[in-house]
Every structure is written in structure tokens, then in C-alpha cells.
Amino acid sequence: MITNEKITLYPFTLISSIVATVGLLLMCSSESSAQEIGTRPLTVSGDDRKSSYPEFTWDRIPLYMHIRKATSYTDKEIAFMAKFPLITFEKANGHKDHGSIEKGTLVSARAVKKVNPKAKILYYRNVIVHYGSYAANKDLEGIPGAFLVGGKGETKLVRNQVPAYDLSNPKLRSWWVDTCKSMTSDPAIDGIFLDGNIKALEPVYLKRQIGVEKKKEVADGYHLMMKKTREAIGPNKLMVANILRARFNNGGLEYLDYFDGSYLENFFHTVGDVSYEDYVAKGIETMQKAARQGKIIAFTAGLAAPKNSSKMGIDEQHAAADSDKVARAALIYHLGVFLICAEKYSYFRVHEGYAADKNDRWMRTFPEYDRPLGPPSGPAKKDGFRYTRTFEHATVTLDLTKRTADIQWRR
């Protein structure tokens, strides 16, 4: 069981203070004592890892790719992906042709690297949701209590469809960390994309099924696992998490120190009683702060609003943009938000979902992507819920109340 013991030092004498301090240091050297700090991230400086970051330029809109395909990609698709400086191969990549997600991901990553060796490629792992088709899943059979069990004995707790990892289980955490270490040891993989963080940290998620105390143990286990993952994969491999959300007290910045950056989705889905304007403004402020810290930002948004939204606002759903006109209309507002926030190592993507199995709309591009942009003259200016920002070749205006954006290009 994971516990959080409160430790108080009473400096009655110099000797007792020294003894207590030494004892605390010894405790912090073990995993059990790390539980005391498990609810707050350990700061890991990103300065030493900037050489591992993706290439970046202000010449054009800096773009990001996030994709999956159950079969192999075509040569045309590989050539298209190789244009992106930062790529996440989502779950399910290539497993139908190559036998596992690990093998399918490596085949795809190596093909992209052959075309563009500078592309940075992230391997997808969900921190709490158990997905099939991973070769590593075979080792879970030897780990008792690997999955969470609800109060009624139910085991498929995520959307009533798939199991959830019990992150309070040290053996489960070690297995998960080892899967990341194994994949990042391949030179074609530049880091890990960590999904499911909100599910692990949000106190309400699964609370009804597993109870308040167990959920707290899961969250504490998550913090330990993130720390161990960084130690295992080393300082030169990237960790980019789906972590920044306006739903958190500090927008997720309180959890960002483990990571080199954050993917952002569900940016416009309000949580609680807060207004749309306040919620999105908080998201903008959070993204700006992270970007100014030098964190990688992978901002994504859907080209069309889904018919049904996630009840808790955790999972982002997607809908198809039936025409280029619909897609173009959605692009400008999302691009406006991104440009108001973007700094070096910020990347942008709009999409209709992550799958490349059924059509090639994931390869859709827009004229704006070919426009000269140039560096910003400075940070955005904010007046209520209206923002403006000037770039060398463009001026951006964003109005959250009207939910509109305008980009005036000078070239």
C-alpha cells in the first residue's frame, strides 16, 4: 500500500537536528520515502536535453504529426510524415502486419528516419489504460494485481471496455517503465508520448469504482512511475505528456516538471461551472507559461465539433470535417489560439482523429502552412478576452467572446 507519511523535524538540539536530517535523507533515497514527495513532481532541468529537442523554425507554421495505422504505411505516407519535425506514432501502429505495436512502430519509425534522420519520433504509452497488441503484455501474466478492480469485482473500468493499471503496484510500475526503456533504447525512437495522465491524476476519475483512498494510491504511484521512467530512459530521450489542462488548479504546470513538454487536446471543452471565455483564457495562459519555459508544445484541435462530448471532459472525441470549407473555417480559430501562445519548440496540428486506416484526410494541408510567418515581435497583448500578436509577416487577432480569429498576412 502507498502511504504519505508526514515528517516533522524538531530542532531541540543541534545533534538531534543533524540526526533527523540524516534520517530524512536516507529515507528519501528509497522508493518508499518517495511516496512522501509523490504528490509533487521533482524538478528536472530541460536545459541539458535541448540538444534532443525537435528542429524548430519560424519560417512557416511549425507543425506536429500524431497518427496511427494498424497496417504498414505506404511510401507516400512515410514521405509525407518525414516532413514533420515531431511525430507521435499512436497506439495500434503496424500490429496487423508486424505482429505487435512495438514492431510496427519501429518499422514505421525507421522508415521515417531513413527519409529524414532529424525527425523526432515518440513512442506511445498510456500510463493507466491497458491496450492490447503490445508484445510486452505477455509479461503482465506474471504480475498479480496488475489491474484495478472495482467494488463489484469489475475489471474493465475504462469506458467499461478495457482494464486500468493499478499504479500502486510496484511490480506493475517496474514492468511499465521497462517497456519504455526497451523501446527508447532503439535509435529510431527519440522518446515517449505519455497519455492518460489526466485519468491517473483526476481525483474523480474511477473514484466511484475503486474508492477515494485507492485512487489516491494510484495517483501517488503515478508520480513514482514518472520519476522512474525519466531515470530509466536517460536524459537524452524525450518525455512529452498529455498533461496541460485548464481543469487543474495551475493548468497542469504543477505536473510539468517531469516532462520535456506537453501535448494539448480538449482545449475548448469546459469543466465545471466556469465560462467558456475564462476556461480557454486559462488554457492560453497555461500554454504561454509552459512555452516560455522552453517546454515542447504540441497543440492539437479537431476540425469539427463531435456530436457527443466526453462527460468528464477528459477524452477528446473527434468528428469528420465534411468539406475543405468546413475544415478551413475551423483552422483559423485554432491556429489563432496557437499563434497567440507559440514560442520556440511549439508545434501545431488540426485533425479529424488519429487513424490513417480509412482515408487520407489526415494528410490534408492548408495554404496557411505555406505562408511565410517569421518570428514574433514579442508576447501577445491581452485586453479582456481579446488578444493580438504581431509576427514578422502576420498579425493575429483572437476574440474568445466571439470565438473568432483573424490572421492578416503581409506576404
Digits of tens for pLDDT over the chain (411 positions)? 444 333 333 333 333 443 344 343 333 333 333 333 344 444 444 455 678 999 999 999 999 999 999 999 999 999 999 999 999 999 999 999 999 999 999 999 999 999 999 999 999 999 999 999 999 999 999 999 999 999 999 999 999 999 999 999 999 999 999 999 999 999 999 999 999 999 999 999 999 999 999 999 999 999 999 999 999 999 999 999 999 999 999 999 999 999 999 999 999 989 989 999 999 999 999 999 999 999 999 999 998 776 555 666 777 777 777 788 888 888 999 999 999 999 999 999 999 888 999 889 899 999 999 999 999 999 999 999 999 999 999 999 999 999 999 999 997
Which domains occur in the chain, in start order? 57-374 (3.20.20.70)
How many alpha carbons fall within 13 Å on the CB side of residue 345?
Answer: 24
C-alpha cell at 226: 514518472
Name the helix (H) or strand (E) containing 33: helix 31-34
Cα Rg, the chain, nearest whole Å: 22
- Grid cell at residue 86: 515531431
Contacts of 267 (CB under 8 A, 6+ apart): 246, 280, 283, 299, 301, 337
Contact 112, 92 (CB under 8 A): no
